[in-house]
Amino acid sequence: MVRNQITAIKKNMGIWLIPGLLALGLILLSGCGGEKNNPATVEQQPGSSQSAGNTAGEPAPASTPPEAPAAAQSQLAREQADKDRKDTTPVPGEVTPVPQSAPAAPPQDDPPKKEPADGAVRAEEKTYSFKAGDYFPPFSLSGLNGNTCSSEGLFTANKVTLVNFWATFCGPCIREMPDLEQLQQQYAGQGLGVVGIVLDSQKAETARSMAAKLGTTYPHLLDDGRFAPYFYAVPQTFLVDREGKTLGIATGARTLEQFTQMLQPHL
């Protein structure tokens, strides 16, 4: 009896053991294959080729365009610098800023003249400004020597006149004044006149002392307030013909050679 029971148990175990082993093997095979073939189950590891923080299904951020090579950047910088130099009139020497309290109004033209009589020739309409090609704004100013000088008398007395604006606090102005004096001495016989206009006229005594120390013989006039609001840097020099028309402008200190090149075509 016992032997029959044992035989029955062994027979039942054999029946269930083989299917069970087969099922276990299939489970193991499906589990391993699933992990290899399903990318969704793979966790992002640090240092992987995917961007950190991206989840499955989200698009990767657009890549930043590569910067231009250093050589190209250097070439672009040189081209920009060349363009800036072409767009800017070269100013040799230095300039000194002039303090400004308020923007200046445009220079005023002469009072309107009466209409000419019938048959008379109409006078030329003049535009006064500080631009080349326009007429220099008229003035009548007191000099460091106490005399009064008018633009009309000054310009008509010379073929061309250098009108040099300067200030007592301007180092470049002081440095170019000996060259202006030399020009006056050298070209006076050819029709050149030179005049200085002191923008900081409240420093008249200082200006008089500087002009004497530098040995300048050309006249220096004291601005009465009509010019200072228009100038933001000095020195500035205007070349004006006997009609009062501005032929050229020099902003910043010039050398004797540069002033000569500016003058000679008009003498």
Domain boundaries, the chain: 137-266
In the structure encoding, which two tokens stand for residue 31, read together? 């589990």
What is residue 205's predicted lDDT score, i.e. its pLDDT?
96
Closest CA to 130 of 256, 250, 260, 263: 250
Q: Using the CB atoms, write b or e for 15-33: b if 16+ within 10 Å.
A: eeeeeeeeeeeeeeeeeee
What is residue 84's predicted lDDT score, i.e. its pLDDT?
43
What is residue 79's predicted lDDT score, i.e. its pLDDT?
47
Is the confidence at residue 6, as pLDDT, over 90?
Answer: no
Q: Give per-residue pLDDT as tens, 47-97.
A: 444 443 444 444 444 444 444 444 444 344 444 444 443 333 344 457 788
What is residue 25's predicted lDDT score, i.e. its pLDDT?
62
pLDDT band at 210; cut points 50, 70, 90? very high
pLDDT band at 259; cut points 50, 70, 90? very high
What is residue 96's predicted lDDT score, i.e. its pLDDT?
80
Is CATH 3.40.50.800 the right assignment for the domain spanning 137-266?
no
pLDDT band at 98; cut points 50, 70, 90? confident
Please, what is the Cα angle at 168 between 243 and 228, to 5 degrees? 50
pLDDT band at 114; cut points 50, 70, 90? low
Closest CA to 250 of 86, 107, 89: 89
How much is the average pLDDT of 26-46?
A: 47
What is residue 147's predicted lDDT score, i.e. its pLDDT?
93
What is residue 43's predicted lDDT score, i.e. its pLDDT?
43
Is the confidence at residue 1, as pLDDT, over 60?
Answer: no
Is the confidence at residue 138, as pLDDT, over 70?
Answer: yes
Which of 90-104, 133-147, 179-193 is predicted with the least confidence, judged by mean pLDDT?
A: 90-104
Q: Give per-residue pLDDT as tens, 14-27.
A: 565 666 666 666 66
Task: Report the alpha-carbon distance of residue 55 to residue 43 in Å, rounded.
Answer: 10
